[in-house]
Amino acid sequence: MKNTAEQSRQIRQYMLITGNYWSFTLTDGALRMLVVLYFYQLGYTPLAIAFLFLLYEAFGVVTNLIGSWLGARFGLNKIMNIGLLLQIIALALLLVPTSFLSIPWVMAAQALSGIAKDLNKMSAKSFIKLLVPSNQNSQLFKWVAFLTGSKNALKGCGFFLGGLLLSGFGFRGAILIMALALLIVWIISLLKLKGSLGQSKNKPKFKAIFAKSSSINYLSAARMFLFGARDVWFVVALPVFLSSQLQWSHTFVGGFFAVWVILYGIVQSLTPKLIGKKNQSKANGRTAFATALPLATTPFLIALGMYYNWPLAITVVGGLLIFGAIFAINSALHSYLIVQYASREDVALDVGFYYMANAMGRLIGTVLSGLAFQLYGLEICLLISGSFILVAAILSLRIDQAADRNIEKISTH
């Protein structure tokens, strides 16, 4: 009976964490699409739009390091609730009249949103490590894949919601609706989320945020290049390309991104099934390498098709769908591996360090997305993307070697 009650409690906490993550992600995706489309409509260049997200990504790098340390000291529930509150404040800052929406002001609001996003994500992923028994790798893989996949499906809905709200209610109306909805979620989280989970027994010193195993270092580096490869064409270049070159409306651009990310999220959720039941508990760096190689070829082929004037819409849209499916599997594997390799005692520190690398990749990709697209066009963004993925694939091979060395060191002491 005790085990049944404990399992029921774990499931309730998992669903509450997932609900928090879902709600936050919906507003995060909608806000990103709102900012890209609205400020392009106001006449901002692709590079200027990229700079609107610069602090969003830059603060994510710092937040994952400091937030993981704070989570280990004070508990993940507090960090998750702080993340929700900061997102509400970030949305409120964008409710000012249009004349006040200067680049520095929007960058400041996006900086808060970036901090909020990474506090929320780091907390959610760390929670799962603590809720699943250490010997149930298959269950851990399924829960991580579901959380990650469902989050991205909701982010896709957020992209569509952003375009739809912009068309129906205008920029300020859309922001107000999202802020009020998230306020309700925050109040529920304050009342229901269990305290102290993730709080380290031994209060870690600040320098501990950099003390990571070699396997986590290689995995984090691979993650940085993987997400740099995605965002170098996904964040600014692609939405502007679809709007300016293919003449798609705001709602249609938002709807397309919504469908893409929803499908991406579904594939992520299904990754444990796609790789096979026997391989779920054996997934490792070599598995990530095997999925990264075909992923790297996709942006190269899209760029080749554009160079030889293949039908533009079919080449870009079709290639993006293939890219999304393979990327989803590779990303889901990464998300599982960090939770698997993370120390149970200091899970927030390890997961935070990993997502710091993730944020660094997004920062690099975001800047390059605006700069490369404005100077050279989408083809160069695609070539950079393929090159980054090849680097991520090579780094993935080193993950298992580093993990084996760590095991040998432990066994000899």
- What is the SS3 string spanning 297-361? HHHHHHHHHHHCCCCHHHHHHHHHHHHHHHHHHHHHHHHHHHHHHCCCCCHHHHHHHHHHHHHHH
pLDDT at 392: 95
User: What CA–CA distance (Å, rounded) separates 342 from 115?
Assistant: 22
| Confidence label for 1 from pLDDT (cuts 50, 70 and 90) | very low
Residue range 184-193: mean pLDDT, rounded: 83
Write the DSSP symbol of residue 246: S
Q: Which of 370, 395, 368, 396 is nearest to 384 (CA)?
A: 368
Helices (H), 200-284: 214-234, 237-244, 250-274, 277-280
Torsion of CA 46, 49, 51, 54, to 10 degrees: -120
Give DSSP secondary structure letters for 343-389.
-STTHHHHHHHHHHHHHHHHHHHHHHHHHHHHHH-HHHHHHHHHHHH
For 311, other C-beta atoms within 10 Å of its C-beta total 10
User: What CA–CA distance (Å, rounded) separates 338 from 129?
Assistant: 10
User: What CA–CA distance (Å, rounded) separates 162 from 124?
Assistant: 24
User: What CA–CA distance (Å, rounded) separates 275 from 32?
Assistant: 32
pLDDT at 50: 74
pLDDT at 129: 63
322: Cα within 13 Å, side-chain hemisphere = 16
User: What CA–CA distance (Å, rounded) separates 122 from 335?
Assistant: 11
For 408, other C-beta atoms within 10 Å of its C-beta total 9
Residue range 70-87: mean pLDDT, rounded: 76
| Confidence label for 199 from pLDDT (cuts 50, 70 and 90) | low
For 228, other C-beta atoms within 10 Å of its C-beta total 28
| Confidence label for 281 from pLDDT (cuts 50, 70 and 90) | low
User: What CA–CA distance (Å, rounded) separates 241 from 164?
Assistant: 19
pLDDT at 118: 76
User: Tokens 């991520």, residue?
Assistant: 392
35, 282, 332 from 236: Cα distances, Å:
11, 37, 24
> Is 402 in contact with 218 (CB distance < 8 Å)?
yes
- The tokens for 275 are 């790789």
> Is 399 in contact with 222 (CB distance < 8 Å)?
yes
Give whichever of 32-46, 109-123, 269-283, 312-326 has the largest mean pLDDT: 312-326
Q: Is the pLDDT of residue 299 over 90?
A: yes
| Confidence label for 294 from pLDDT (cuts 50, 70 and 90) | very high
- The tokens for 305 are 């098709």
- 263: helix, coil or strand? helix
User: Tokens 């970030």, residue?
Assistant: 90
Looking at every residue in the chain, the average pLDDT score rounds to: 79
| Confidence label for 413 from pLDDT (cuts 50, 70 and 90) | very low
Q: Is the pLDDT of residue 319 over 80?
A: yes
For 367, other C-beta atoms within 10 Å of its C-beta total 22
Describe the crossing of helices 312-341 and 237-244 by its angle, rounded to 10 degrees. 160
**Count of H-run helices and E-run strands, the chain:** 14, 0
Which has the higher per-residue pLDDT, 288 or 167? 288
| Confidence label for 271 from pLDDT (cuts 50, 70 and 90) | confident
pLDDT at 77: 73
Describe the crossing of helices 2-41 and 137-192 by its angle, rounded to 10 degrees. 80
Buried b (16+ CB within 10 A) or exposed e, 43-60: ebebbbbbbbbbbbbbbb
**Per-residue pLDDT tens digits for 345-371:** 666 667 778 878 888 898 899 889 888
